[in-house]
Structure 1
């Protein structure tokens, strides 16, 4: 049996939030809309971060092509590896969210 008896933590949290929203005179659906808006903003920020990381990666590769001398080459290699890691991390994060990114991109282009 769970530690809260018949209430799971999620059910308890939902009941608690609903009570507070009733006290504040707001409906729970208003809170849902606010959460959806925050999620939409977060997804848009993530998409922009991915684009920025890709640009950084391309710039690091370009810098490597024009590097001269051992120190500049070493720095360029370090910058490429760091940019790749950041780009891969953001892509993994986006993949784990299981969002239809084609639809998100169309919404972003339209809006």
Structure 2
């Protein structure tokens, strides 16, 4: 663009919505730009929602896995015979319990309900 010329950059035409010598096309371009921006925004919002749902699903699956590990550790503790086995069983039980509690706290922060976890567990059993 030459200083002092009557040419106006297209970006300015789009922003202000003037025709800028294009025969009234400025508003159409502005509308088209706003429409494209809206589509981009909606796509980003949809991707964000899908990512949140995926995080929730993965956390529910981790909770279910941690619960199984905790139950297994409890059973192992009940059937130990030797001192070394007792030490390991206590360690495994405490670790499984702490992991389960940590995941439940995380789920509470994400407002995941017990019903969601149980629904996932019943779906897991049916497959």
TM range (shorter): 0.5 to 0.7
SS in 2 for 1:78: helix
Cα separation, 2, equivalents of 1:107 and 1:69: 37
Counterpart contact for 2:67–2:100, Cα < 8 Å:
yes
Deviations 1:76-105 (A, max 9, x none): 000000000000000000101124553686
Determine which of 100, 111, 114 is the counterpart of 1:87: 100
Q: Which runs of 5 or more structure 1 residues have no equivalent in the other structure?
A: 1-21
Structure 1 residues 99, 83: closer, same or farther in 2, change over 3 A?
Answer: closer
Q: Report the Cα distance in structure 2 between the residues aligned to 1:73 and 1:104, rounded to whole angstroms.
A: 31
Q: TM-score under structure 2 normalisation? A: 0.59
Q: Spell out structure 1 runs of 4+ moving beyond 3 A.
A: 22-26, 99-110
Cα separation, 1, equivalents of 2:109 and 2:93: 24
Number of residues of Structure 1 aligned to a counterpart in Structure 2: 89
Bigger CA radius of gyration: 2
**TM-score normalized by the length of structure 1:** 0.67
- Asked whether the 8 Å contact 2:56–2:110 carries over to 1, the reply is no
Q: Which runs of 5+ in 2 are unaligned?
A: 1-34
